[in-house]
Structure 1
Amino acid sequence: MNAHATRSTLLLVDDEPHSLTAMRMALEDEFEILTANGADEALQALEKEWVHAIFCDQRMPGRSGVEFLTEVRDRWPETVRVIITGYTDASAMMAAINDAGIHQFLTKPWHPDQLMIAARNAVRLFQLARENERLVLEMRYLANTAKTRLERRRKALQEGAGFEAISRAPASPMNLTVDHARRYASFDLSVLIHGETGTGKARLARAMHLGSLHSDKPFYTFNLAGVPSDLAAIHLFGAKRGVLPGGVYKVGLMQKADRGTLYLTGIEHAPVDIQLALLRVLTEGTFTPVGGQEMLDTNVRLLTGTSADLAALVAAGRFLPDLFHALSVGQVSVPPLRQRRCDIAILAQQHLAELSLAHGKPLRGFTPAALDFLENYDWPGNLRELIGEVTRMLVFAQDEILGAELISRHILQSLPGNPARDGALDPVLVTDGSLKERVEQMETRILRETLARHRWNKSRAAGELGLSRVGLRAKLERYGIMDPSGRGDDEDEED
């Protein structure tokens, strides 16, 4: 590589040849030198070469040094401009600084050391300007990149854990619930989420937080069920020093969740003193830590969840009517899983994928018969019960596809195709109908459950039930029970 390739380039402009020669001799040991005997020749050089600094005489035929450097400033603003003059008129200097952006004046006669120092300073200024420009561009890029990443992350978070993460079928009753929750989310209102235990109220509350103006602030949850009043007050409102052992100061959720969202589930269990304190938070935006006297401000958004009929509790005098009205400015009802049968296959598959990944056991899905049983069970424990059942199936699974034989017996004994009935046998015992009809219902369920557990091996099922294969086949034909896999009786495996 050429040793001069990394050296800075200077353009010397003067109409006197001996002046150009003298400047070249003073600077050429350290810099690459270009020369021009006037403004026109200098412009041609600038169009061809990358120049770091220009040393130009002021008095030249045609255009003066200031006129030439003014054009340079417009076309090549990064090039440092130094003018050499034999005159020291202050007004002329100011005009040159304003018009041409002159970095430095050198007066004639100049000394070689003076010229070298000026050249080094000019080049250094050029390098600093370029470095500053690079840093500015880099900071802009990093800022834009960070902003883009933050927006992308926030969007992914909202989509991953927000409303889009609430799995449901196109015709699901849950769609109306999500639509209402999405509308309430963007308004800074208190919302009461009502639904049976295990229906996913907390997930809906988190989705509302992520879809709100508080999405970049904290989200906290607290369950009031079974928590004594004094302990609930400490958790919610904090405690001054001296209240708790060790003399520590406890920061409550109202302070932690300031400008964020606090989701309180089991609100029907809140004692009266907690209800009064919550009412103050909602109406005045203030609270008092346990053991304190001062009022602290909070701008928390309060979402509450309940599985009880709060209006009935108000009527019974067990819940403050003012708090009920303050909490239920917006109301969202989450349907139980028995009303979302079209969602069960989707939910089961979703949770199976999550559990499979969490436990490191790769599984692909469910057999049609397994889904048939899952979809026709009423799930009194809702999503929690479904997740528990899928977990048990995963534990005992031997194949990548989970079959009906892995399902718990009380679910297998449910009656497919009749969503109105509960999955347990008890309703059969108290329902209307003749003894023969009710016995047939029980017998049908027992047959299906036993066959499912034995993977429709009729020999084994018959043996467990104390029937012959012929007797079992007759009962199956009588009740219209068929192997969901479509296998015929001649394909049945023998013991």
Structure 2
Amino acid sequence: MADPRPYVLLIDDEPHSLSAMRMALEDEFEILTATDTRTGAELMEEEWVQVVICDQRMPGQTGVEFLSAIRERWPETVRILITGYTDPGAMADAINLGGIHQFIAKPWHPDQLLMATRNAARLFHLARENERMALEMRLLSSTAETKLEKRRRALRDGLGFETILRAPNSPMIALVDAARQFATFDVPVLLTGEAGTGKAQIARAMHMASLRSDRPFYALNLGGMPEELVALELLGAKRGAAPGATNRIGLLQKADRGTLYLSGVDTLPPALQLALLRVLTEGAFTPLGGQETISTNLRLIVGAHRDLAALVADGLFRPDLYYALSVADLTVPPLRARRGDVAILAQHILVEVAARHGKLVHGFDAAALEFLENYDWPGNLRELTNEITRMLIFAQDSILGAELISRPILQGPPGEAGADRSAQAVLTGDGTLKDRVELIEMRILRETLTRHRWNKSRAAAELGLSRVGLRAKLDRYGIADPTGRATQDEEED
């Protein structure tokens, strides 16, 4: 379909002039005519006019005045003035007031008028195309920014506080609330807690919620590293100062404008404690083998397994560094203090481990979750992950049962009123020999029955008990299948 012909408005108070202009242009354009500017303005309201050709000498209003007026309302319309005057001052006024695209002097030639109108229509078309392209560019730019922001939001959600799983009454709720509050303030953070409690995850979440979220996040575990290696990793080295011929850029420089998380800061040697203090107070450090000072603007988050205040009191940690680090001092609770969280964490870990190993499982049965919830988890999240991985490896069904759980965990009681959680506590605690032996016996009975899926014949055979003797002990201690399943008569021949 061909493009519609452009509309051209001709304004002249002399009818023969209007007729002559129409004849020159009507083969290529849709022509509108008016003998006065008021009628011309009305036609502009009714039609989408691309070019206006107006005579300068008009009754009541000059052509320049009219073109200046319509410029306010229809700035994209191309304006041409026909005039018998050639005074340069008048032309300059016309350009300034009316934004005149072109002057056509009287007497004009039809070809001259046609060429000027063609150029004006082309100019109108180019201006509209430019406006369209500019709009598209703005839209594309806005869309690109929106996509980038969506990606950043997805990254923040994927690595932020949303990934820290917790039950409605979990002690992690207060910790996460405090961490969120500190995250947006550019201050050092000290995370204290046992190994494996998830301090690194909290540090990354704080980075993603901070003003530095679009900058890099680096993490280094200092525990067990030799002092020379820690210095090299943090400070970097100039050529020849460390093995290898090239310069080595340290994390203090790499993390500039980003965040650096140092786990095990309580093991940091004294010389490096001083270097870290300089970073916090001066924002500077010196690479190994170098003389120059390098500036760095990083946010420091550190993790400590031991109480830094106690180390300060023992003279093992610099007090000035401790106070510089502890602007935000957060304690991460161990897994044994997160009773309601273990089931949620176990299910989440199982999904990840199953996907990694390509094994189809759906979850845990009630008894398994009860045992997992009631274990102390001295190894915290790492131990929980290892246990679930081991259960997955030996699983034969899509639901993981309690019989897959390791024996030390199975020996834990199903509730707070059961036997002691720790065999060591029983061995070293108070009480008569008979009471303490019975507590151990209860744990062994429960663990053995669970491994054998409460098949009492098999459990009795392993324990060297008769069927009657096992039943008597279960009745004495009130031990029953926690799933509530009906007991089969497994003891009968």
TM-score (norm 2): 0.92
Q: Following superposition of structure 1 onto structure 2, how do residues 192-207 of structure 1 map, counting pairs within 5 Å?
A: 192-207=190-205
Q: SS of the residue aligned with 2:248?
A: coil
Per-residue CA shift, 1:131-188, capped at 9, x if unaligned?
2322332333334334444444444433432223211122222223223322322222
Q: CA deviation at 1:420?
A: 10
Task: Check conservation: 2:467, 2:491, Cα contact below 8 A.
Answer: no
Contact 1:378 1:419 in 2 (8 A): no
| Alignment-derived partner of residue 389 in structure 1 | 387
- CA distance in 2 between counterparts of 1:408 and 1:400 reads 18
Task: Give how far 1:422 is off.
Answer: 6.7
State the match for 2:179 in structure 1: 181
Of 301, 304, 326 in structure 2, the residue corresponding to residue 303 of structure 1 is 301
Give the distance between the partners of 2:29 and 2:231, measured in 1 at CA.
Answer: 77
In 2, Cα distance between equivalents of 1:267 and 1:11: 81
In terms of mean alpha carbon deviation, does 313-322 or 267-276 score higher? 313-322
After alignment, is 424-433 or 101-110 more displaced? 424-433
Aligned 8 A contact 1:12 1:56 in 2: yes
Deviations 1:359-412 (A, max 9, x none): 443433221111110011000000111111122222333333221112111111
C-alpha offsets along residues 94-127 of structure 1, whole Å, 9 cap, x if unaligned?
3322332222211112233432332233223222
Percent of residue pairs identical: 65
Mapped to 2, the partners of 1:274 and 1:471 lie a distance apart of 64
Change (3 A) 1:433 1:43: same
Q: Normalising by structure 1, what TM-score?
A: 0.91
Partner of 1:83: 81
Q: Which residue of structure 2 lines up, in the alignment, with residue 336 of structure 1? A: 334
Q: Which residue of 2 aligns with 1:370?
A: 368
Asked if the contact 1:373–1:416 (Cα under 8 Å) also holds between the matched residues in 2, the reply is: yes
Preserved CA contact (<8 Å) 1:376 1:419: no
CA contact (8 A) 1:229 1:273 kept: no
User: Any conservation in 2 of the 1:279–1:326 contact (CA below 8 Å)?
Assistant: yes
| 1:407 alignment partner, one of 405, 408, 418 | 405
* Contact persistence 1:342–1:375 (CA under 8 A): yes
The answer to whether the 8 Å contact 2:222/2:264 transfers is yes
Specify which of 238, 241, 248 is matched with residue 239 of structure 2.
241
Mapping 1:178-327, distance limit 5 Å: 178-327=176-325
Structure 1 CA distance for aligned equivalents of residues 119 and 232 of structure 2? 67
How far the C-alpha of 1:197 sits from its partner, in A, is 0.4
Task: Give the deviation of 1:327 after TM superposition.
Answer: 1.7
The offset of 1:468, in angstroms, is: 4.2
Q: How many angstroms does 1:423 deviate by? A: 4.5
412-421 or 55-64: bigger deviation: 412-421
In structure 2, what is the Cα distance between the partners aligned to 1:7 and 1:395?
76
Aligned letter for 1:196?
E
Query: Are the aligned partners of 1:26 and 1:112 in contact in 2 as well (CA < 8 Å)?
Result: yes
CA distance in 2, matches of 1:146, 1:419: 59
Q: 1:225 deviation in Å?
A: 1.6
Superposition deviation, residue 198 in structure 1:
0.3
Q: Which moved more, 1:74-83 or 1:59-68?
A: 59-68
Partners of 2:305 and 2:136 in 1: CA distance = 54
Query: Quick one: which amino acid aligns to residue 170 of structure 2?
Result: S
Distance 2:120 2:419 in 1: 90
Q: Is the counterpart of residue 473 in structure 1 residue 471 in structure 2?
A: yes
- In the alignment, what sits opposite 1:142? 140
Mean CA deviation greater in 198-207 or 68-77 = 68-77
Alignment of 1:32-47 (within 5 A): 32-47=30-45
Distance 1:446 1:93, change over 3 A: same
Aligned residues: 493
Shift of 1:13: 2.5
Q: Output the CA distance in 2 between the equivalents of 1:328 and 1:420.
A: 40
CA distance in 1, matches of 2:28, 2:226: 83
Of residues 141, 162, 165 in structure 2, which corresponds to 1:164? 162
Q: What does the per-residue CA deviation read over 1:407-433, in whole Å, with 9 as the maximum and x for residues that have no partner?
A: 111111112223898745333333322
Paired residue secondary structure (1:12): strand
Whole-Å Cα distance in 1 between the matches of residues 210 and 75 of structure 2? Answer: 48
Matches within 5 A, 1:11-30: 11-30=9-28
Amino acid at match of 1:227: M
Whole-Å separation in 2 of the counterparts to 1:399 and 1:459 = 23
Instruction: Report which stretch shifted further, 218-227 or 464-473.
Output: 464-473
The equivalent residue for 2:113 is: 115
State the AA in 1 paired with 2:94: A
AA at the equivalent of 1:34: L
1:436 counterpart = 2:417: no
Residues 245 and 492 (structure 1), Cα distance of their counterparts in 2 relative to 1, 3 Å cut: same
Q: Determine if contact 1:264/1:303 at 8 Å carries over to the other structure.
A: yes
2-side partners of 1:299 and 1:23: how far apart?
Answer: 72
Kindly state the Cα deviation for residue 31 of structure 1 after the two structures are TM-superposed: 3.4
For the pair 1:417 / 2:415, whether they are aligned, the reply is: yes
- 1:171 partner SS: coil
Give the distance between the partners of 1:491 and 1:65, measured in 2 at CA.
112
C-alpha RMSD over aligned residues: 2.6
Distance 1:179 1:494 in 2: 58
CA distance in 2 between partners of 1:480 and 1:156 (Å): 51
Letter in 1 for 2:473: K
C-alpha distance 387-66 of structure 1, shift in aligned 2 (>3 A): same
The aligned residue for residue 98 of structure 2 is: 100
2:352 aligned to which of 351, 354, 370: 354
Matched, 1:445 2:449: no
Tell me by how many angstroms 1:251 deviates: 1.6
- Structure 1 unaligned segments of length 5 or more: list them: none
CA distance in 2, matches of 1:429, 1:144: 69
CA distance in 1: counterparts of 2:461 and 2:304, whole angstroms: 49
Seen in structure 2, the aligned counterparts of structure 1 residues 64 and 313 have a Cα distance that, compared at 3 Å, is: same
1:52 aligned counterpart, secondary structure: strand
Residue 421 and residue 71 in structure 1: after superposition, are their counterparts in 2 closer, same or farther (change >3 A)? farther
Superposed displacement of residue 29, structure 1: 4.0
* Partner amino acid, structure 1, of 2:413: L
